[in-house]
């Protein structure tokens, strides 16, 4: 697999002026790109007793589902408000450019389950923090939060203080 950083394409002014979006689709187009990322994360977390992977909509799903298969554990979709059909728990969070809500089914995580949170990008940390709060409210234990890339200048780690945070790339 080629160097990961070379496969991430910067896109200025998306989705709003002043935002530099990091497009992961060139990585996904590369033969072995997705599998290589999943393999790297799976090797790091194998043997750590992960019961389920909670992946954040929507690009977190790209890595989260195959990671759950690789780790031999369950998969929990963390969705935007109104996308799940059964009773949910939700949280509002802040983005670089506004606010939104995330939710999970109330029965998605059982008390004591060890959960690995997965998303593509750690930016301001709002989506990851909201996911941590829901998992912990449901009684789950957050083992770590892992990301393909981190936008370090936005200090998203600050909202995840006291938890293990991993990113394959940092900008």
Q: What is the pLDDT along the chain (171 residues), one digit of tens a residue?
A: 458 899 999 999 998 898 889 999 999 999 999 999 999 999 999 999 999 999 999 999 999 999 999 999 999 999 999 999 999 999 999 876 678 999 999 999 999 999 999 999 999 999 999 999 999 999 999 999 999 999 999 999 999 999 999 999 999
pTM of the model: 0.94
State both tokens at 149. 């890339």
State both tokens at 96. 């670089």
> Rounded CA gap, 141 and 145, in Å?
11
**What per-residue confidence (pLDDT) applies to 15?**
86
> Rounded CA gap, 144 and 153, in Å?
21
- Phi/psi region, residue 32 (left: phi>0; alpha: psi -120 to 50; beta: rest), is left
Residue 94 known to be catalytic: no
The residues, any chain, with a CB within 8 Å of residue 136's CB and separated by 6 or more, are: 142
**What per-residue confidence (pLDDT) applies to 94?**
80
* Catalytic-role residue among 22, 59, 91, 129: 59
Taking the CB of residue 9, how many other CB atoms lie within 10 A of it? 12
State both tokens at 104. 């999970």
Residue 89 known to be catalytic: no
**What per-residue confidence (pLDDT) applies to 95?**
73
**What per-residue confidence (pLDDT) applies to 29?**
96
Contact call for residues 156 and 124 (beta carbons, < 8 A): yes
> Rounded CA gap, 102 and 130, in Å?
7
* Catalytic-role residue among 96, 114, 157, 166: 96
């Amino acid at each position: 697999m080629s160097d990961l950083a070379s496969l991430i394409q910067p896109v200025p002014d998306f989705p709003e002026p002043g935002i530099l979006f990091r497009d992961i689709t060139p990585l996904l187009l590369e033969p072995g790109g997705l599998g290589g990322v999943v393999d790297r994360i799976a090797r790091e977390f194998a043997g750590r007793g992960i019961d389920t992977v909670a992946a954040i909509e929507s690009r977190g799903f790209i890595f989260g589902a195959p990671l759950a298969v690789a780790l031999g554990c369950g998969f929990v979709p963390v969705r935007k408000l109104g996308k799940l059909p059964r009773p949910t728990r939700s949280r509002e969070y802040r983005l670089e450019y506004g606010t939104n809500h995330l939710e999970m089914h109330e029965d998605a995580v059982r008390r004591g389950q060890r959960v690995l949170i997965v998303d593509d990008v750690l930016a301001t940390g709002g989506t990851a923090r909201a996911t941590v709060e829901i998992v912990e409210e449901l009684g789950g234990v957050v083992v770590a939060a892992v990301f393909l890339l981190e936008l370090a200048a936005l200090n998203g780690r600050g909202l995840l203080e006291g938890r293990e945070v991993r990113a394959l790339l940092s900008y």
